[in-house]
């Protein structure tokens, strides 16, 4: 069982969706929270709610994780407040959708920065102390999209494949040192992800709630799992690509999420 009470969690993408649900759930378990995102007003409102409801500290750090100096900005802000991070939740991420050649290059590069580069950077910033203290955890939010190549979501699926591989590798490195690194793979979830990407075709199946996704993650953390998939149907979907040729899995996935209006 992870030791939550009296500890501090840093949650990226905390202004909405899964990140906001993580912050609420962790505060309910007695953790102080550090909220990181671009949406200052939303985070301030969430911080006030958490402080009033759970009597824990809630700090707000405004940062754009698509910027090259994002990790340094967040690390410096945490240090300036005299805080330490016992649980890092790398939740921030976004999706681009459409034929690869039609997607804005800057958007694709920002997607890699948020989904991969900042995730690695923040893990590098806060994991060493956890290991030296022999206590702590990292939750990296991947996706079931990371289990196979997906045309029209090529960059997004590739970034999530990276997160899965990175998380399981670090889990093994940290195993036996009382620090758990967990990769979390949600499927379609009731967030703004698909709307922001103008990708309704990619929202396959009935969406799970953000609370269900967070409950799956924290259950996995408590059990010291390396990788968890949220929901039985989503878990079954991750096994399909392993049973058929990769090119055929990609073809089937591309047909399912092909943009209808592009």
Which residues are tagged catalytic? 156
Distance between CA atoms of 115 and 103, rounded to whole angstroms? 17
Distance between CA atoms of 208 and 229, rounded to whole angstroms? 12
CA dist list (Å): 262 to 14, 102, 184, 195: 31, 9, 31, 16
Give me the helices (H) in the chain, please.
17-28, 40-54, 70-80, 105-112, 118-133, 154-174, 193-196, 210-222, 232-243, 246-257
Spatial contact of 194 and 203, defined as CB atoms under 8 Å apart:
yes
Q: What are the two backbone dihedrals, phi and then psi, of residue 81, each rounded to the nearest 5 degrees?
A: -85, 0
What crossing angle do the helices spanning 105-112 and 154-174 adopt, rounded to 10°? 10
């Amino acid at each position: 069982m992870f030791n939550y009470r009296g500890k501090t969690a840093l949650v990226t993408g905390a202004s909405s969706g899964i990140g906001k649900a993580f912050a609420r759930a962790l505060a309910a378990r007695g953790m102080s929270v550090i909220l990181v995102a671009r949406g200052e007003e939303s985070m301030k409102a969430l911080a006030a709610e958490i402080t009033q409801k759970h009597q824990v500290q809630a700090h707000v750090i405004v940062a754009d994780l698509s910027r090259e100096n994002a990790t340094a900005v967040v690390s410096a802000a945490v240090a300036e407040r005299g805080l330490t991070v016992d649980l890092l939740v790398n939740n921030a991420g976004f999706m681009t959708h459409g034929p690869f050649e039609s997607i804005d290059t800057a958007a694709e590069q920002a997607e890699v920065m948020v989904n991969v580069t900042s995730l690695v950077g923040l893990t590098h910033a806060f994991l060493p102390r956890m290991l030296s203290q022999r206590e702590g955890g990292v939750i990296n939010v991947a996706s079931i999209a990371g289990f196979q190549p997906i045309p029209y979501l090529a960059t997004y699926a590739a970034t999530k494949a990276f997160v899965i591989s990175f998380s399981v590798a670090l889990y093994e490195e940290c195993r036996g040192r009382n620090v758990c690194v967990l990769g979390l793979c949600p499927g379609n979830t009731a967030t703004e992800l698909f709307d922001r990407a103008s990708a309704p075709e990619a929202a396959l199946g009935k969406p799970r709630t953000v609370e269900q996704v967070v409950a799956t993650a924290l259950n996995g953390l408590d059990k010291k799992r390396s990788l968890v998939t949220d929901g039985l149907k989503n878990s079954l979907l991750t096994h399909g690509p392993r049973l058929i040729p990769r090119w055929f899995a990609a073809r089937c996935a591309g047909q399912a999420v092909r943009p209808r209006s592009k």
